[in-house]
Structure 1
Amino acid sequence: MITLDRTDKRILEELQKDGSLSNLELAEKVGLSPSPCSRRVKHLEDTGVIVGKAVLLNAETLGLNLTAIIQVSMDRHTPDRFENFDRTLEMCSEVVSCSLITGQAADYLVEVVVTDMAQYQEFLLNKLTTIPGVTGVHSSFVLRKVINRTSIPLDHLK
């Protein structure tokens, strides 16, 4: 685990708000000159704290109006079953997140974004349930996202 000082946290908070900031803009926001700011960002990248930058899209504007949260149960809890499931889901463009979980009857929690129920049915019947080892799926559909953060809170770090 890496230790972050107050300035590192401020840099990360600003970049999480807007990853397109230039080094000059970022330096101004966090109260550094450009060179030290650039060195700090490079250090955060080199240590793996910053793993990349992304553009966030509005799914509804693109016609992706249905988000499903799917609990998936597997028949066996073996490394080869999990590895095959993981590899197969990585190839499914509808999947925006997948987590191996504990504490539930399901083994995986999968989030899927599609245009409509017909596309969801296509994904479910022709992709998800054809993966070897899948024994059960339970789907829930998002009515409204109450909180949809992409940032990681840093205020609780020491």
Structure 2
Amino acid sequence: MDTLDEIDRSILRALQEDGRIQNVDLAGKVGLSPSPCLRRVRILEEAGVIERYVALLNAAKIGAGLTVFVRISLTSQDSKTVDHFTAEIQKLPQVVECHLMAGDCDFLLRVVAADLDAYRQLQIDHLTRIKGVQSVKTEIPIQQIKLTSALPI
């Protein structure tokens, strides 16, 4: 898909707001009849613009109310060490984001846990035991100002 027109953008904004919106309602919201609207959604899905549909959960209500950011430094940045680290991180469901970084650390993780004790256990049992990890530095946010999964369209 080369470019998005304004109708595509309207569809994407509406779906980011409510991924469960019925096609008839979506069509009305973006000014199309249902068939062309559904065709456009399918094209956006097939092109990979829409990757998947998910439910956003309230972390506190499912026992994952603590979010921490973890800066990881590795002993080396060779492909074997990096690949091993990323494979091990994939196994940890508490790690909800992992980014390879340029700068002071090698990786930045966003981790969710029930509380500080649960995070500390994850750190002791898993993060510090991954071969190639040199240091683990944890940042604890004191207030969430903004959290969104919506991309600006």
**1:106 — aligned with what?**
105
Identity within the alignment, %: 38
Taking structure 1 as the reference length, what is the TM-score of the superposition?
0.93
Following TM superposition, the consecutive aligned residue runs of length 4 or more in structure 1 with deviations greater than 3 angstroms are none
**2:18 — aligned with what?**
18
**1:140 — aligned with what?**
139
- Give the deviation of 1:83 after TM superposition: 1.4
- Give the deviation of 1:65 after TM superposition: 2.4
Q: How many residues align?
A: 153
SS at match of 1:144: coil
SS at match of 2:148: coil
The alignment yields a C-alpha RMSD, in angstroms, of 1.1
**2:73 — aligned with what?**
73
Distance 1:61 1:144 in 2: 17
**1:120 — aligned with what?**
119
SS at match of 2:87: helix
Taking structure 2 as the reference length, what is the TM-score of the superposition?
0.96
- Give the deviation of 1:90 after TM superposition: 1.0
Name the aligned partner's letter for residue 84 of structure 1.
H
Unpaired runs of 5+ residues, structure 2, are: none
Distance 1:106 1:91 in 2: 21
**1:91 — aligned with what?**
91
SS at match of 2:11: helix
Check the 8 A contact 1:66/1:142 in 2, yes or no: no
Distance 2:46 2:79 in 1: 31
Unpaired runs of 5+ residues, structure 1, are: none
Distance 1:6 1:80 in 2: 45
Check the 8 A contact 1:70/1:109 in 2, yes or no: yes
Cα deviations across residues 14-65 of structure 1 (Å, max 9, x unaligned)? 0001101111111111111111101101111111100001100011122322
Check the 8 A contact 1:68/1:141 in 2, yes or no: yes
SS at match of 1:14: helix
**1:60 — aligned with what?**
60
